[in-house]
Chain A
Amino acid sequence: MSYSTRVAPGELVVIDSGPLGAPLVREIHRRVLAAGAHPLVNITLEETQEALLREGSDAQLEFLSPARVEEIETADVRIVLEAEENTRTLFAADPSRQTVHKRARKVLGDRLFERSASGELRWLVTLFPTQAAAQDAGMSLVDYEDFVYRAGLLDREDPVREWRELAERLDRVAGWLDTKDELHVVAEGTDLRLRVGGRHWVASRGFENFPDGEVFTGPVETSVEGTVRCSFPAAYHGRIVEDAELRFEGGEVVAAEAARGRDFLEEMLALDEGARRMGEFAFGMNEAITEFTLNTLFDEKIGGTMHFALGKSYPETGGRNESALHWDLVCDLRAGSEVHADGELVYRDGRFLDGLF
Chain B
Amino acid sequence: MIDARVERLAELVVTYALELGEGQVVRIDGFDVAAPLAVALYRAALHAGAHPYTHLTLDGLHELLVKEGTDEQLAYVAPSQWREIEALDAQVTIWSETNTRSFGRLDERRHGALIAAQRKLSNRRWERIAAGELRWCGTLHPTNAHAQDADMSLRDYEEFFFGACHADTPDPAAYWRSLSATLQARAESLAAVRELRILGPDTDLRVGVAGRTWIAADGKYNLPDGEVFTSPVESETEGEIRFTFPAIFNGREVEDVRLRFEGGRVVAAEASRGEAYLRELLDLDEGARMVGEVAFGLNYEIDRFTRNILLDEKIGGTMHLALGAGFAQAGGANTSALHWDMICDLRAEGEILADGELVWKDGSFVAPLDVAVAGERG
Q: Which residues of A contact B (CB under 8 A)?
A: 10, 12, 19, 22, 25-26, 29-30, 33-34, 36, 38-45, 47-48, 51-52, 55-57, 59-60, 63, 65-68, 70-71, 74
Contacts and interface: CB of A to CB of B under 8 A. Distances in A.
Given A38-B73, A51-B39, A70 B54 contact: no
B371 interface: no
B248 to A, nearest CB: 27
A47 B52 CA distance: 13
A74 B53 contact: no
Contact of A48 (B39, B61, B72, B78): B39
A244 B79 CA distance: 44
B35 to A, nearest CB: 6
Given A66-B87, A67-B27, A67-B53, A19 B39 contact: no
B83 interface: yes
Given A56-B46, A65-B51, A70 B79 contact: yes
Given A47-B39, A55-B46, A74-B78, A26 B51 contact: no
Interface string B268-301: 0000000000000000000000000000000000
A66 B88 contact: yes
B65 A55 contact: no
B42 A48 contact: yes
B291 to A, nearest CB: 38
B58 A41 contact: yes
Contacts of B35: 19, 45, 47
Given A26-B64, A67-B27, A43 B51 contact: no
A16 to B, nearest CB: 11
B47 interface: yes
Interface residues of B, number: 37
- Most A CB contacts (10 A, CB to CB) among B49, B58, B72, B83 go to B58
B76 A30 contact: no
A45 B39 contact: yes
Interface of B: 23, 25, 27, 32, 35, 38-39, 42-43, 46-47, 49, 51-58, 60-61, 64-65, 68-70, 72-73, 76, 78-80, 83-84, 87-88
Contact of B80 (A25, A51, A56, A67): A67
Given A19-B32, A26-B64, A60-B46, A43 B80 contact: no
B57 A71 contact: no
Contacts of A12: 78-79
B294 to A, nearest CB: 38
A193 B54 CA distance: 46
11 contacts: A12-B79, A25-B58, A26-B60, A26-B61, A29-B64, A51-B39, A51-B42, A57-B49, A59-B23, A66-B83, A70-B84
A36 B70 contact: yes
Given A51-B43, A60-B51, A66 B61 contact: no
A320 to B, nearest CB: 30
B47 A55 contact: yes
Given A12-B79, A65-B51, 5 more contacts: A29-B64, A45-B54, A47-B35, A55-B46, A63-B51
A74 B79 contact: yes
A58 to B, nearest CB: 12
A134 B18 CA distance: 42
Contacts of B42: 47-48, 51-52
Contacts of B53: 48, 65, 67-68
Contacts of B58: 22, 25-26, 41, 43
